[in-house]
């Protein structure tokens, strides 16, 4: 696979666009908000109400154009709250051009533990349920609202300039890191990326994804230093933010997912499709291709 280089000039396309980013008070979301704002975008930081002060400090201290940024409290799992975030963005800036579904969490205890209660029954793992709720349901909520608020009035619209970026993970493709609920949820985000393409194209919105490898933030604080001590290549939030901006602004990208691992930046989805015949065999690949075309021809699987 060929290495992708980010052309700095593409960032200039941020000017005067309105970008809504979930989970943007800290980490990758904060770096992404600062990058877009630096290049002239209006930025809506959507995050939990408890992070309002953090977000306001971020806007005041490192944003180049603080007058072009607002914080809107909202929980992505709560439909009414997240809807209010989108409405606030439209009310403040007149519309939305880019949505970054960034908010996510990771479990703090093993999901497949065998802990039992006083009766000897296996305990429910509520931590795992919370991770799947936020990472999968919350991303689905963000995707649906993004499509609704950015849909184009006519199918005759040329190349879609409105876009949604779903933040997956290398755990969307690989499953050896041990965080079971996180891995399952990020596989689900990749499923949303693939499953949303037909609807997104009909609505005139591009949907792409990002699959970052380990990025030192509050989520990975428990093991980031040990990773560094091993000499393993790590991202920075700023590096991931650049990749997010690339897929958000490059109008040639639709249905792609970029691996971001330190200096490595590569597209994953199109090479996967090219390798399909080699993986499952040409005959099976041909059959699966015809089968998928059947479902497309009937408008999807009719339940």
Asked if 101 and 142 touch (Cβ cutoff 8 Å), the reply is: yes
What does the DSSP 8-state code read for residue 170?
G
What does the DSSP 8-state code read for residue 155?
T
Helices (H), 177-281: 180-195, 197-203, 224-229, 237-249, 269-280
Whether the predicted pLDDT of 159 surpasses 80? no
Which residues in the chain belong to E strands, given as ranges?
18-22, 42-47, 69-73, 98-101, 162-167, 205-212, 257-261, 264-267
Position 164 scores a pLDDT of 98
Count, residues in the chain: 303
Point out the catalytic residue in the list 149, 173, 182, 264: 182
Q: How far apart are CA 259 and CA 211, in angstroms?
A: 5
- Residues 121-143: pLDDT tens digits? 999 999 999 999 999 999 999 99
CATH 3.40.50.720 given to domain 8-267: yes
Q: How far apart are CA 240 and CA 24, in angstroms?
A: 13
182 counts as catalytic = yes
Whether the predicted pLDDT of 221 surpasses 70? no
Q: How far apart are CA 269 and CA 205, in angstroms?
A: 18
Predicted confidence band at 266 (pLDDT cuts at 50, 70, 90)? very high
Among candidate residues 181, 131, 107, 138, the one with its CA nearest the CA of residue 22: 138
What sign for the dihedral angle of Cα 44, 49, 50, 53? positive
| pTM: predicted TM-score of the whole model, two decimal places | 0.91
Whether the predicted pLDDT of 20 surpasses 90? yes
The two most distant CA atoms of the chain are separated, in Å, by 64
Predicted confidence band at 292 (pLDDT cuts at 50, 70, 90)? confident
Distances (CA, A) of 275 to 32, 145, 286: 32, 34, 13
Kindly give the pairing relationship between strand 257-261 and strand 205-212: parallel
Whether the predicted pLDDT of 220 surpasses 70? no
């Amino acid at each position: 696979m060929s290495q992708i280089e980010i052309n700095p000039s593409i960032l200039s396309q941020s000017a005067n666009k309105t970008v809504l980013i979930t989970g943007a008070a800290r980490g990758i979301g904060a770096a992404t908000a600062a990058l877009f704002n630096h290049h002239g975008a209006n930025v809506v930081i959507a995050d939990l109400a408890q992070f309002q002060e953090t977000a306001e400090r971020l806007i005041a201290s490192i944003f180049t154009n603080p007058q072009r940024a607002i914080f809107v409290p909202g929980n992505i799992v709560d439909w009414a709250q997240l809807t209010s975030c989108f409405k606030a963005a439209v009310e403040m800036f007149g519309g939305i051009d880019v949505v970054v579904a960034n908010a996510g969490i990771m479990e703090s205890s093993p999901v497949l533990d065998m802990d039992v209660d006083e009766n000897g029954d296996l305990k429910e793992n509520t931590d795992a349920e919370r991770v799947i709720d936020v990472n999968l349901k919350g991303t689905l909520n963000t995707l649906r609202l993004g499509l609704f608020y950015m849909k184009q009035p006519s199918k005759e619209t040329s190349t879609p300039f409105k876009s949604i970026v779903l933040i997956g993970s290398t755990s969307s493709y690989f499953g050896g890191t041990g965080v079971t609920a996180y891995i399952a949820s990020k596989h689900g985000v990749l499923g949303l990326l693939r499953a949303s393409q037909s609807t997104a194209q009909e609505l005139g919105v591009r949907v792409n994804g990002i699959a970052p490898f380990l990025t030192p933030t509050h989520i990975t604080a428990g093991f980031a230093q040990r990773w560094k001590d091993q000499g393993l290549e790590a991202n920075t939030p700023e590096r991931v933010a650049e990749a997010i901006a690339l897929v958000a602004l490059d109008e040639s990208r639709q249905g792609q997912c970029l691996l971001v691992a330190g200096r490595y930046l590569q597209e994953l989805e199109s090479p996967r499709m090219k390798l399909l015949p080699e993986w499952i065999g040409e005959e099976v690949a041909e059959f699966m291709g015809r089968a998928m075309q059947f479902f497309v021809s009937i408008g999807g699987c009719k339940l």
